[in-house]
Amino acid sequence: MKITIHIPTQTLQLFGDSGKLLRSYPVSTGAKGVGEENGSFCTPRGRHVIRAKIGAGMPVNTVFVKRRPTGEIYTPQLGAAHAGRDWILTRILWLSGCESGYNRSGSCDTMRRYIYIHGTPDSTKIGVPGSCGCVRMRNAELEELFDLVEVGTQVEIIA
């Protein structure tokens, strides 16, 4: 399996081992565009792998902070009470860069930047850039993807 995230079209595609397209999902990447530098709030480009899968078996809309479930389940009321919060919901696929000096090590390290593929509130617009650098997906689609991929799955982010 391999994942390709295409920034211009805001899509994530899952390919099987034979190269056949298995799934295609709309996503939302960094509102500030692409870039690898720590603190840029941009989506990093290049070759990555899924380093960790977090949240298996948790309810849809489980709220995560620092990769840990908070015990909260997102609702519009919770969202209104914490306006402006960057919600990480349902599941997390934590990415790690594979290209030393570009998206791995030093000030450009994707994993140390905490770049994930993660769920987002249903009210969040998908298909346009809007995240703080991560790749946001609809919760139901993320659950499906989460169940299809393994740790070590290749992810390429193309601008």
**Quick one: pLDDT at residue 58?**
97
Domain that holds residue 31: 2-158
**Quick one: pLDDT at residue 84?**
85
pTM: predicted TM-score of the whole model, two decimal places: 0.96
- Residue range 63-97, pLDDT digits in tens: 999 999 999 999 999 999 998 899 999 999 999 99
Question: The CATH number of the domain where 136 resides is what?
Answer: 2.40.440.10
- Residue range 100-124, pLDDT digits in tens: 999 999 999 999 999 999 999 999 9
**Quick one: pLDDT at residue 127?**
97
DSSP H helices, the chain, are 76-81, 139-148
The DSSP 8-state label assigned to residue 41 in this structure reads -
Query: How many domains does the chain fold into?
Result: 1
